[in-house]
Amino acid sequence: MKIIDKLQDGKVHVSIEVFPPKTDAKYQEVIEAVDQIAAMRPFYISVTYGAGGGTSRNTVKIASHIKKDLGVESLAHLSCVSSTRETVRQVISELQQEGIENILALRGDIPTDPEIPVAKDYQYASQLIEEIRKQGDFCIGAACYPEGHVDSRDRKEDICYLKEKVDRGVDFLTTQMFFDNMVHYSFLYRIREKGITVPVIPGIMPVTNAKQMRRILSMSGTALPARFQAVLDRFGTNPQAMKQAGIAYATEQIIDLIANGINHIHIYSMNKPEVAGAILHQLSEIIEND
């Protein structure tokens, strides 16, 4: 099933992201988490792709397991900045062979580890999108940044690059996490004004660990609204309280988005089935996953 087909059915859907293990020793642990998440019957499960082969080699394997063994649609991430053209074409071919119909095309983070070489075949996600379009009949997603990409000079430039990606053949977009829904609503207005009409799925991050939050913010440039900063200040040193507060905050974000006509939500689960499950439980009468 192509994700774009179900995005147009008018129902409310929730999808969930997982990431492959960094080491082979952790593979079974990740599979157990994936199996638990799949049992919740999300719209689809996306599988991230790491640079330099560390986690990337398991992306196709886990995406195939989700689709073939668990009966849930999968979305395989594919990044290009640290990959050769040959490697990218090989991964696309493997996805075809496994019956994966959906790819999230990303530039990827430029590696800071000197052991990971930066290939010169691709510099932008738009180039990867063209490559995928040439090689197969995939549903292609791409990332977007409501607060602007950290490498862009400003939001206006960032939207120009986003328009270029969409024009190359993107079917839908998924946002980077945000913690103020007004940021998302404003972003939608600005991109629609520029002629970007594809579906946009908001990405929601349930923050359950204050230390994790500080690391993510340092990498993404995401702003914290005063309301969420107060949550971190009050509960950040109490792990169980922070987990409960983070789940509640994310759930409230999702309810507000759905109430305002956003029918598709993507949860960054951090491989925590209990967190995704708690949110879905609170939304049980709101969402429709069948």
- Evaluate whether 3 touches 141 at the Cβ level (below 8 Å): yes
Q: Per residue in 175-191, pLDDT tens?
A: 999 999 999 999 999 99
- Dump strand ranges (E) for 60-186: 73-79, 102-106, 139-144, 172-175
Q: Please determine, for residue 124, whether its predicted confidence score (pLDDT) is greater than 80.
A: yes
Q: Please determine, for residue 109, whether its predicted confidence score (pLDDT) is greater than 90.
A: no
Q: Please determine, for residue 114, whether its predicted confidence score (pLDDT) is greater than 80.
A: no
Q: Please determine, for residue 142, whether its predicted confidence score (pLDDT) is greater than 90.
A: yes
The strands making up 200-201's β-sheet, listed across from edge to edge, are: 200-201, 172-175, 139-144, 102-106, 73-79, 44-47, 13-18, 264-268, 203-204
Q: Per residue in 194-216, pLDDT tens?
A: 999 999 999 999 999 888 777 77
Domains of the chain: 12-282 (3.20.20.220)
Q: Which residues are catalytic?
A: 17
% the chain with pLDDT above 70: 93
Residue 114: Cβ-neighbour burial (10 angstroms; 0-12, 13-18, 19+): exposed
Question: According to the model, what pLDDT value does residue 176 have?
Answer: 95
Where do we find the tokens 């507060």?
245
% the chain with pLDDT above 90: 76
Question: According to the model, what pLDDT value does residue 118 have?
Answer: 64
Question: According to the model, what pLDDT value does residue 77 have?
Answer: 97
Question: According to the model, what pLDDT value does residue 163 have?
Answer: 97
Q: Per residue in 25-64, pLDDT tens?
A: 899 999 999 999 999 999 999 999 975 555 678 999 999 9
Mean per-residue pLDDT for 123-146? 95
Predicted confidence band at 290 (pLDDT cuts at 50, 70, 90)? Answer: very low
Question: According to the model, what pLDDT value does residue 182 have?
Answer: 97
What phi and psi values does residue 19 have, to the nearest 5 degrees? -130, 145
Which residues partner with 144 through β-bridges?
175
Average pLDDT along the chain: 91
Question: According to the model, what pLDDT value does residue 236 have?
Answer: 92
Q: Please determine, for residue 18, whether its predicted confidence score (pLDDT) is greater than 80.
A: yes
